Amino acid sequence: MSAATGEYPVPVSPPYPAASKDVELRRAMTASARSAAYSSAPVVFEDEWLAVVDKPAGVYCDALLSALPCSAATLGDEATKPNLHLANRLDRDTSGLMVITKCNKVAGKLVKVFTEHKVKKTYLALCIGYPPAWEKIKICSGHGRSKHGAWRVYAMSDVGRSLPGGSVVRDMSTRFEVLGINGKGQFREPSNFEVDETESITVQEKAADLTSDGDEKNSIILVRAYPQSGRTHQIRLHCQYLGFPIRGDVKYSGVIEWNGVDYDGHALHAESLSFVHPVTGLPVTFRSPLPSWANEFISTMA
């Protein structure tokens, strides 16, 4: 529709809750202090061209550049120091794998690989909500900013339409598999969704208004996400839309207090990365150690 008439597409996910503003401000201030003091990033892999590091939750990505504990990054004169770049980014409260390149040429190659979605990624998320009836699913929707700047889910039929501020609705797609619900399930290695038959959802309207007389809406669900695109807050938005927002994700309907504990961030972890090395041409796969909340849930699974 014409922007002049104000007929922009209507998002199908809810706006940020009023309480999120104060919570997000407090978390941002805490993360700024943590990031300023952050001094040593755990290195999962390193060679002369790049390093793969394990970002903790509650730390901004840019803090990793000065916290890379490799001799090339911290020693030597300015002429021999590498030019460090972040090849990918994670949300402030998301933990897990990030890639840091050491020269402009490699940075350009690897950023291109990420932006063209040629990197296979998996994430783990601990969610509180309605238990899904499916084991595996693919969800496709639109993605964009609403008039107040919030990221929202849009119908697939709105992809390409103009949004306030001059942007447009873009497509996003995520595959999910359920690993456990309320302590029942089995943790397993990532699946090959390219060969698995998977139920598919194409978002065209607002999510169903789920209601329950019991405790179903308070189920604890561990899911693995396989993002097929790289949109901002993609997994968080799709979890919200599917009825099980990520624990602690105040922006997207997640509970911040659970069983008497207040959480200072969301339970989302970048578990693995697979791509072709930009210099050697060899396929590489990296895995991050599981965060404590994942290990705690897995330990309860029967």
In sequence order, what are the beta bridge partners of 101?
Answer: 50, 85
d(CA 257, CA 268): 16
Say if residues 98 and 88 touch (Cβ distance below 8 Å): yes
The dihedrals phi and psi of 148, each to the nearest 5 degrees, come to: -100, 10
Helix (H) or strand (E) holding 234: helix 234-242
Q: What is the CA radius of gyration of the chain?
A: 20
Secondary structure (3-state) at 139: strand
- Whole-number Å distance between alpha carbons of 294 and 302: 15
Of the candidates 47, 54, 91, 215, the residue annotated as catalytic is 91
Contact 137, 80 (CB under 8 A): no
CA distances (Å), 65 to each of 28, 98, 122, in order?
19, 11, 23
Query: Would you say 84 and 100 are in contact if contact means Cβ atoms under 8 Å apart?
Result: yes
Beta strands 95-101 and 268-276, pairing class: parallel
Contact call for residues 258 and 250 (beta carbons, < 8 A) = no
Alpha-carbon separation of residue 201 from 39, 233, 268 (angstroms)? 43, 19, 22
DSSP 15: P
Q: Which residues contact 158 (CB under 8 A, 6 or more apart)?
A: 9, 142, 169
Gap between the Cα atoms of 302 and 300, Å rounded:
6
Q: Is 91 a catalytic residue?
A: yes
Catalytic residue annotation: 91
